[in-house]
């Protein structure tokens, strides 16, 4: 069972520079309500370390590279994101941690929902309890 889904986004090659497009319900399988990005991540730091109860997201390495570790309480998978025309879909209820950021890495996130602190599970033990209650 795959915990994440890699999607190749359309890449329009042009000698003046390439262009990649992400469109909701076309190559992003949900409505996009929020867009944010992380950058200037210090060496050895990580981002994420949470799960969402409802919000699905697509992560894209706009610049540089980083690893995304996905965990469902039983299985764990690591994805290396290093192409700006490739997105990783992270479904609801999946724990995610981003690490091993290269210098200059930028992570773009397309989110299904607007920010809501109630949607986050930020403690791994609480996450495991949430999974057990969801069965």
Point out the residues that are catalytic. 50
Q: What are phi and psi of 18, to 5 degrees?
A: -80, 160
Q: Residue 128 region, left (φ>0) first, then alpha (ψ -120 to 50), else beta?
A: alpha
SS3 119: helix
């Amino acid at each position: 069972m795959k915990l994440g889904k890699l999607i190749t986004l359309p890449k329009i090659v042009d000698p003046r520079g390439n262009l990649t497009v992400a469109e909701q319900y076309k190559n992003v399988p949900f409505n996009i309500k929020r867009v944010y990005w992380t950058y200037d991540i210090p060496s050895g730091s990580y981002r994420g370390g949470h799960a969402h109860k409802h919000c699905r997201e697509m992560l894209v390495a706009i610049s540089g590279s980083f690893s995304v570790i996905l965990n469902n309480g039983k299985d764990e998978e690591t994805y290396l994101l290093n192409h700006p025309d490739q997105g990783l879909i992270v479904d609801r209820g999946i724990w995610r941690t981003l690490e091993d950021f290269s210098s200059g890495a930028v992570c773009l996130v397309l989110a299904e929902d607007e920010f809501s602190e109630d949607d986050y599970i930020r403690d791994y033990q609480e996450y495991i309890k949430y999974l057990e209650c969801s069965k």
